[in-house]
Amino acid sequence: MKQFATITVIGRDKTGVIARVTNFLFEQHANIEALEEQVTRGQFSMTLQASWKRGALKTDILRVGLDALAISLGMEIKLRLTNPTSRQRFAIMVTKETHCFNALLAAKLPAEPALVIGNHADFAPRTKKHKLPFAHLDWHDRAKSENTALELLEKHEIDFIVLARFMKILSPNFVWRHKNKIINIHPSLLPNFPGPQAYRQAYESGVKIAGVTAHFVSMRLDEGPIIAQASFAITPGMELKDIIAAGQKEEAKVLVKAVKLYLGKRLDVYWGVVREV
């Protein structure tokens, strides 16, 4: 059996980072299983999975070496021992609405819900019912709340994040650290009607077909790669509340579908477009 670790490197972009990290791992007798890096607005991010033959991984030496490398590079380097056969752990971010949260837990996904983050304290009893840890971050100071959220995600060893009608905008600093690992559900057929009042926009514009979109979160609001969509007809006489009710049913189903596709490793994002593989 192999031993595995995931290493993340974050900081200002500079020459030679990938070579320095991979050379160090080579010296530690590691095999590089997967590597993904990105540069966004001058910020560098790399996630690397390495493996060792059983008994070859010297964790203490690895940690000390990576800490020294982080200081030398002036970057943030984190190590997490992993097991590829274990179920992925995910965080759910919520505001007030419960339908998507309920659907995710009822779906019995092949992943472990490990943390709930919400900006309203009264959501806590619902998470307690499911024996899930809940963190209330009011989000009045976005930078402070996001920093706390990032610390919680690391503490709980979260692999991906699901926004279950989380009604706050995440900053680029938060999003780029989790590229293609944050799944959101939006109440419209994107790219139509972005923003927080999508159902009202659909109602006031008189469209005959509305819908919902599950997508990866990107730095541009409601423009991330689309994973799944569903539509429903707006029939004569439907009021705004009827459109919202019809949409919420689809939101829950499409969000669960998107998470299942993600967990099935059937998604590939190529030049901003999601393809099933």
Instruction: Give the distance between the most distant pair of CA atoms in the chain.
Output: 70
Measured between alpha carbons, how far is 172 from 54 in angstroms, rounded to an integer? 39
Would you state the structure tokens that stand for residue 131, as one six-digit string? Answer: 């024996």
Residues 6 or more apart whose Cβ sits within 8 Å of residue 254: 185, 212, 213, 214, 228, 229, 230
Q: Which of 60, 222, 242, 268 is catalytic?
A: 222
Helix, strand, coil percentages, rounded to 5, for the chain: 35, 30, 35
Would you state the structure tokens that stand for residue 266, as one six-digit string? Answer: 């059937």
CA angle 248-253-254, nearest 5°?
95
Determine whether 230 is exposed, middle or buried from the number of CB atoms within 10 Å of its CB (0-12, 13-18, 19+): middle
Say whether 159 is catalytic. Answer: no
Long-range contacts of 202-205 (CB under 8 A, 24+ apart): 202/234, 202/243, 203/234, 203/239, 203/240, 203/243
Q: Where are the alpha helices (DSSP H) in 81-135?
A: 99-106, 124-129
Active site residues: 222
